[in-house]
Chain A
Amino acid sequence: MSTETPAWMADIDSAALTALGAIEAAATLATLREAEVGALGRKGNVTALMKRIGKLDKSERKAFGAAAGGLRGKVTRAVSARREAIVQAAIAAELADTTFDETLPGLDGAPGHVHPLSRVQQELEDVFISMGFSVLDYPEVESEFDNFEALNIPGWHPARDMQDTFWLEGGHLLRTHTSAGQVRAMHQFKPPFRAVFPGKVYRYESTDASHDHTFHQLEGLMIGRHVSVGHLLDSMRTLLSAIFKRDVQVRLRPGYFPFVEPGFELDISCQVCDQKGCSVCKQSGWVELLPCGLVHPNVLRAGGLDPDEWQGWAFGLGLSRLVMMRYGVNDIRLLMGGDARFVEGFHPGT
């Protein structure tokens, strides 16, 4: 056995020097990757060395293979070690950095804003949906029949005067209340059913801070075999408690609306003072909220229902007013004024 150093040993040493030197010198993962490819890649110097084994004498192959393989292992380990070192150094450097300014203002994501009328309407719809009410949508230009006659409002009734209604040339009108949908709903659905229909309504009246010629209402209608004042009371208390997200007391007073009999004005316990007495409720503890009542048999008839068989309750909630109450809006004209700054004053999103 020869003790003479083989000629290729110098080449291995030289390749090791080049490869390991480049690896040690790498300061970033990218240069490390270059060094690794320079050694072990398809055209790398260690790879090139490995390819020489075929040209060697058989007696030398074993020793050469061991030496070259050892080099490849060494290089691979060196790359791993170097990579770990670079990563750790970077982490340490980032953690040691004291220049990050956490007080710079947040970046504006430019959130959009949904109109408060839409928000409140959707919130109410969701309350009603959760209690099995369908949500319907009916036209704003209505026939005189659906807006008046079908609701038991005959021609002599003062509500039919020009003073209260926007009429269109040709005889149709802009609905004066969402109640105009009642008869439509009765024709659309097989009883029993319950539904709400929100939307725009119109009144021919001059505007001020608390009146607008266009505003939003939400009509509620329940049709069943047996519907009593007791049911109405329970329904209204439950629904309004869900809407106000707290326990609400309700009371009924006589109120005259041709399409309900008996008809009521519904008061709710004052949400401002909890019935302790304040300026909002004029010390009475009660605030007038909405008109409601048991559906008049003539309305059921107009809806194609037999009043001996079917009964119902209905209410009309002022959505615009509810928005004003909830957000302290002191001028109704802000709602439809088209000023983006008003809408953007509310929380973004839906």
Chain B
Amino acid sequence: MFVSWNWISELVDTTGVDPKAFAERFTLSVAEIEEVVEFGAGLSAVVVAEVVKISPHPNADKLRLADCDLGDRQVQVVCGAPDLKVGMRVPFVPPGVTLPSGITVRHGEVRGVPSPGMLASEADLGLSEDHDGLMELDGCDAPTGTPLPTAIALHDVLYEVDNKSITHRPDLWGQVGMAREVAALLNRPLKPLDITGLTFGDTPPLDVAISAHGHCRRYLCTRLDGVTIAPSPVAARLRLRSLGVRPINNIVDATNLAMLETGNPLHAFDASSVRGDQLIIRQAVEGEQLETLDGETRHLAPTDCVITDEQGPVALAGIMGGANSEIVATTTGVVLEAASFDGAAIRKTATRLGMRTDSSARFEKHLDPETARLAALRFCKMVLELCPDAQITASLLDKGAHIDSPPAPVAISTSRSYLRSRLGLNAEQLSDAWMDRAFSALAFELRGEGDELVVTVPSFRAGRDVGIAEDLVEELGRVFGYDHIPSEAPQVAARPPYLPPSKLQERAARQALAQGRGLTEVVLYSFESEPFRKRAGLVELSAAGHAEPRLRLANHLSADQTHLRRLLCNNLLSAMEDNLLQGNRAAEGHKGLTIGLFELSRAFVPLASNESAHPAADPGLPPALTDSTARQGYLDGLSDALREGATAALKSTAPLPWQPRRLAIALGERLGGGQQGLVSAPKAVSVRLFREAVGAVEDLCRQLQRPAPQFKRQPSVGQLPDGLIRHPGQVDLRPAWLHTARHATIAVDGRFIGLVSLIHPEVRSRLGVPAEVALVELDLDALLDVTAVPEQGEAPPKFPPSAFDLTVPCQPSVRADDLRGVLAAAGDGVVDGVSVDVQWVSEYADEGTDAFGRALTFNVTSRNPDGSLTDDNITQIRRALLGSLLDHSQVRDGWAQDMITHHS
């Protein structure tokens, strides 16, 4: 949307105001200006010329020689314009002048004929994109030789206003609305638009019937005859150009000028093309078609509104006229439509048909029906000026719900003190008189005594713009200037802020993983990459083996992103693949990891039909307005239009899906060999990555002050180990990446927390890079539910412990933690009051064929709180531990007995 300073200046006295400097004030008080544009600048050397003689070019068929009168002299220039004719007045550019278009005119020769200067088109002068022919200075009486800017009001300063900043202000879509703002800011009067001297006939131009009441609130119609279709004078053409509208002919230009001025779009029909004597404004019928002015055939739908004559549609209401009733060169009679169409309906049709016009863009803003009449009158005034022979030959027919039952004016009860207090101003800073003046400049009417005020809103602000006292606060504030409001510290309650445990947990997790484990945090999209999912064969299976549902988008940007992720690890694995593919990492971690990533984010799990969200999945979510009193209070406070939608929306509020906060970790190492898809990872790498992942989870639990996690394999795939509790919405038990032979469920204090797993070899074989990856996915909310380990200040033991190592030869299939458990249980209570702690230290695995080729070393620490341990005590404990392994099937036969006999 452009604001023309020249146009504004016709409506407000702008003497002494620099439009460029004023732009800042405008931005601070009215709307955002994207750019201040100088129109028609740099043309002072261009002069008015008249073509007095045309002769052929001796060497070129398409060029001619034009003798031009420049007032004080004559020149002959070469001209290629086909519309060149004797007597036409055109701009002449002397040599040496650089035009806004960038062209520098030279004293040159064209095909052997000298040409000292050139005759210019509008495009040459930077006035429009129109290269077709010369700029004809018709309607310009200035003598030849007059500088162009003097001859016509060429120079203008335009504000290009950000359309988004005025979507809520239908009144600002016309120059007069903008002028009102300028007048208020300058504290100068706004001149009324000239609608004097119009005489209408007694008979209506046509019969008008409105059946689409929802689409059309007002329809004005009149008729003018004796019209001669011609181009508009240059000044009108330039004005249209400067505001971005293409001139067509005097009648169409008048509709556009009246629209630009008042904001209300108009349409003119060729009177002779209207069939019958009735116009009907109705909804289109399915299958109906209309060829619009742009030559396109439009397929209409019942949601569209059309203007029809006896035989069918002649215009697509509020958007574009029909080709069948277009103003043509032979038109002498014009039927004018000045209507007010419903914004939402126009928007719907314009969007559906992909037709965004100057007209639809304005109607979408919900225009004031009152403005339609003003626009009609201004059109008539302009036509009578442009076509002196034209006459208004009908009455101004005015129909519609807006006329039948005019809306009551909007009046807002408030008080001067309220308006001041919301701005943070007192009566000295914002006086009654100042307030009265500002409101009246914006056409608001004030009544009331003392502090009380009843403010009547002008119709052009009353639609969806100004309706409550807060809106009046804004009106006052912006005219006053927000930069003049003193800032003041708010009085606030001195209370400690609330920090949800989840927030502290996430911070601690970040610390544990980034600082403690050297991992890198990534933030990934909530949409899954479907191609990766397909390629890697990722799917979340239920215990029974069917695919778990994911939340699906009703509209998606790309067929690659159609679902929300149920698990974080899928995207994380994709990111890991990308990162491993980058190769040649600058630094390998001290723990031998190539890449370690983690993400803290929400996953999205649909509710099963019988579920309602568990508080652990969404801590602290208040269901909106479930309390009926609160709900009624809210609805009662709304306007009718809002209440309907809000009531419906409240009714349809179904429970939200699970949105558990998750932590995912991926540790990956690129493998050599390059046989992607076929390579299997060396077991040492797999073990290391898995143990790194386990260590990260252990660190996390420590950092979060939770009990040590337990790692147990699923008894059968998709099954929880005995005794674990898992809530709905938690990590799935059977993601496709779960390695059925190399994984563990993570449990803390009997609660299922998540999974740690190497990726399934099938998934690994489908990656685009040979790699081994360990994944962790766990539920932060579930972990938060586990009681923290209490801290206690215990005195350190007075007596030192006694420790020894035990290296046990065993089968490879033995679980270190099982063996540790057997030993720990055996040591317990062997000596009264002595505690025995058993920790796994290391392992040795013989690659040979010995069935007991694995050796696990445990460290046994015994402690007597009341004294030192004797050698006898240690021997007793050692024997008890060895004794527990005597019949262990996975420990080498006879080893324990041998140890008891010979070494203790």
- Which A residues fall within an 8 A CB radius of B? 107-115, 117-118, 122, 125, 128-129, 132-146, 148-150, 152, 154-156, 158, 161-162, 165-172, 174, 183-184, 187-189, 192-195, 200, 202, 204-207, 213-214, 222, 224, 226-231, 233-235, 237-238, 251-256, 261-265, 284, 294, 296-298, 301-302, 304, 306-307, 311, 335-336, 338-341, 343-344, 348-350
Which residue of the partner chain B has the closest CB to A238? B489
Which residue of the partner chain A has the closest CB to B35? A282
Q: Which one of B144-152, B475-483, B740-748 is at the interface?
A: B475-483
With A233-B485, A301-B637: A340-B571 Cβ-Cβ less than 8 Å: no
Contact B575 A155 (CB under 8 A): no
Which residue of the partner chain A has the closest CB to B606? A170
5 A-B pairs in the complex with CB atoms less than 8 angstroms apart:
A136-B620, A137-B503, A214-B525, A262-B473, A336-B523
CB proximity to A under 8 Å, residues B623-639: 624-625, 627, 630, 633-634, 637-638
Q: Give the most central of A111, A168, A169, A224: most B CB within 10 Å.
A: A168
Instruction: Report the separation of the CA atoms of residues A253 and B474 in the bound assembly, to the nearest whole angstrom.
Output: 11
Beyond contacts A150-B624, A206-B557, A222-B490: 13 other A-B pairs, Cβ-Cβ < 8 A, are A108-B589, A134-B499, A135-B497, A140-B604, A143-B653, A150-B646, A154-B641, A200-B601, A226-B421, A228-B422, A228-B424, A230-B424, A311-B422
CB proximity to A under 8 Å, residues B495-511: 495-500, 502-503, 507, 510-511
Contact B564 A109 (CB under 8 A): no
Contact B557 A213 (CB under 8 A): yes
Contact B634 A230 (CB under 8 A): no
Q: Which residues of A contact B815 (CB under 8 A)?
A: none
Chain A min CB distance to B658 (Å): 9
Contact A194 B483 (CB under 8 A): no
Which residue of the partner chain A has the closest CB to B574? A338
Which residue of the partner chain A has the closest CB to B596? A112
Chain B min CB distance to A141 (Å): 6
Contacting B488 at CB < 8 Å: which of A117, A166, A228? A228
Q: Which residues of A contact B517 (CB under 8 A)?
A: 112
With A145-B649, A301-B634: A338-B571 Cβ-Cβ less than 8 Å: yes
Contact B590 A154 (CB under 8 A): no
Q: Within 8 Å of chain A (Cβ to Cβ): is B168?
A: yes
With A294-B422, A298-B637: A167-B28 Cβ-Cβ less than 8 Å: no
Chain A min CB distance to B178 (Å): 14
Instruction: Report the separation of the CA atoms of residues A140 and B517 in the bound assembly, to the nearest whole angstrom.
Output: 29
Instruction: Report the separation of the CA atoms of residues A144 and B654 in the bound assembly, to the nearest whole angstrom.
Output: 10
Q: Which residues of B contact A166 (CB under 8 A)?
A: 553, 555-556
Chain A min CB distance to B574 (Å): 7
Contact B485 A230 (CB under 8 A): yes
Contact A192 B553 (CB under 8 A): no
Contact B497 A134 (CB under 8 A): yes
Q: Which residues of B contact A111 (CB under 8 A)?
A: 514-515, 518
Contact A336 B510 (CB under 8 A): no
With A168-B552, A168-B554: A231-B424 Cβ-Cβ less than 8 Å: yes
Contact B526 A174 (CB under 8 A): yes
Contact A112 B518 (CB under 8 A): yes
Instruction: Report the separation of the CA atoms of residues A304 and B636 in the bound assembly, to the nearest whole angstrom.
Output: 12
Instruction: Report the separation of the CA atoms of residues A170 and B606 in the bound assembly, to the nearest whole angstrom.
Output: 11
Contact A137 B492 (CB under 8 A): no
Instruction: Report the separation of the CA atoms of residues A189 and B500 in the bound assembly, to the nearest whole angstrom.
Output: 13
Contact A230 B474 (CB under 8 A): no
Q: Which residues of A contact B492 (CB under 8 A)?
A: 132, 192, 194, 222, 224
Q: Which residues of B contact A133 (CB under 8 A)?
A: 497
Which residue of the partner chain A has the closest CB to B522? A338
Instruction: Report the separation of the CA atoms of residues A311 and B634 in the bound assembly, to the nearest whole angstrom.
Output: 15
Contacting B490 at CB < 8 Å: which of A128, A144, A168, A224? A224
Q: Which residues of A contact B489 (CB under 8 A)?
A: 231, 234-235, 238
Q: 1/0 per position for B545-576, CB-CB distance to A under 8 A?
A: 00000011111110000001000000110110
Instruction: Report the separation of the CA atoms of residues A224 and B488 in the bound assembly, to the nearest whole angstrom.
Output: 14
Contacting B520 at CB < 8 Å: which of A150, A204, A238, A344? A344
Q: Within 8 Å of chain A (Cβ to Cβ): is B471?
A: yes
Q: Within 8 Å of chain A (Cβ to Cβ): is B524?
A: yes
Q: Which residues of B contact A169 (CB under 8 A)?
A: 551-554
Instruction: Report the separation of the CA atoms of residues A165 and B553 in the bound assembly, to the nearest whole angstrom.
Output: 10
Q: Which residues of B contact A188 (CB under 8 A)?
A: 620, 622
Q: Which residues of B contact A194 (CB under 8 A)?
A: 492, 497
Q: Which residues of B contact A156 (CB under 8 A)?
A: 343-344, 641
Which residue of the partner chain B has the closest CB to A165? B555
Contact B499 A154 (CB under 8 A): no
Q: 1/0 per position for B711-735, CB-CB distance to A under 8 A?
A: 0000000000000000000000000
Contact A137 B500 (CB under 8 A): yes
Q: Within 8 Å of chain A (Cβ to Cβ): is B405?
A: no
Chain A min CB distance to B651 (Å): 9
Q: Within 8 Å of chain A (Cβ to Cβ): is B521?
A: yes
The DSSP consensus for interface residues of chain A is: mixed
Contacting A145 at CB < 8 Å: which of B621, B624, B633? B624
Which residue of the partner chain A has the closest CB to B29? A254
Contact B514 A171 (CB under 8 A): no
Contacting A149 at CB < 8 Å: which of B29, B490, B602, B646? B646
With A166-B555, A229-B485, A294-B470: A138-B621 Cβ-Cβ less than 8 Å: yes
Chain B min CB distance to A60 (Å): 39
Which residue of the partner chain B has the closest CB to A288? B32
Q: 1/0 per position for B40-77, CB-CB distance to A under 8 A?
A: 00000000000000000000000000000000000000
Which residue of the partner chain A has the closest CB to B490? A231
Contact A350 B514 (CB under 8 A): yes
Contacting A146 at CB < 8 Å: which of B424, B518, B624? B624
Contacting A298 at CB < 8 Å: which of B486, B596, B642, B659? B642
Which residue of the partner chain A has the closest CB to B651? A145
Top-8 shortest CB links A-B: A230-B424, A338-B575, A262-B474, A112-B514, A228-B424, A110-B589, A187-B622, A233-B487
Q: Within 8 Å of chain A (Cβ to Cβ): is B597?
A: yes
Q: Which residues of A contact B633 (CB under 8 A)?
A: 301, 304, 306
Contact A113 B424 (CB under 8 A): no
Q: Within 8 Å of chain A (Cβ to Cβ): is B423?
A: yes
With A144-B652, A262-B470, A265-B32: A235-B621 Cβ-Cβ less than 8 Å: no
Contact B582 A341 (CB under 8 A): yes
Instruction: Report the separation of the CA atoms of residues A343 and B517 in the bound assembly, to the nearest whole angstrom.
Output: 16
Contact B521 A229 (CB under 8 A): no
Which residue of the partner chain B has the closest CB to A111? B518
Q: Which residues of B contact A340 (CB under 8 A)?
A: 520, 522, 575, 579, 595, 597
Which residue of the partner chain B has the closest CB to A196? B497
Instruction: Report the separation of the CA atoms of residues A144 and B619 in the bound assembly, to the nearest whole angstrom.
Output: 20
Instruction: Report the separation of the CA atoms of residues A170 and B655 in the bound assembly, to the nearest whole angstrom.
Output: 11
With A112-B520, A168-B551, A261-B468: A184-B656 Cβ-Cβ less than 8 Å: no
Contact B477 A229 (CB under 8 A): yes
Q: Within 8 Å of chain A (Cβ to Cβ): is B167?
A: yes
Contacting A343 at CB < 8 Å: which of B24, B516, B520, B552? B520
Q: Within 8 Å of chain A (Cβ to Cβ): is B347?
A: yes
Contact A230 B499 (CB under 8 A): no
Which residue of the partner chain A has the closest CB to B351? A161
Q: Within 8 Å of chain A (Cβ to Cβ): is B408?
A: no
Contact A224 B491 (CB under 8 A): yes
Q: Give the most central of B487, B511, B556, B618: most A CB within 10 Å.
A: B487
Contacting B165 at CB < 8 Å: which of A154, A202, A255, A335? A255
Instruction: Report the separation of the CA atoms of residues A262 and B476 in the bound assembly, to the nearest whole angstrom.
Output: 10
With A172-B656, A229-B422: A115-B521 Cβ-Cβ less than 8 Å: yes
Instruction: Report the separation of the CA atoms of residues A148 and B24 in the bound assembly, to the nearest whole angstrom.
Output: 33
Which residue of the partner chain B has the closest CB to A199? B602
Q: Within 8 Å of chain A (Cβ to Cβ): is B357?
A: no
Q: Give the most central of A114, A189, A238, A264: most B CB within 10 Å.
A: A114
Which residue of the partner chain A has the closest CB to B580? A340
Q: Within 8 Å of chain A (Cβ to Cβ): is B645?
A: yes
Q: Give the most central of B515, B523, B601: most A CB within 10 Å.
A: B523
Contact A140 B422 (CB under 8 A): no
Which residue of the partner chain B has the closest CB to A194? B492
Q: Which residues of B contact A129 (CB under 8 A)?
A: 497, 499
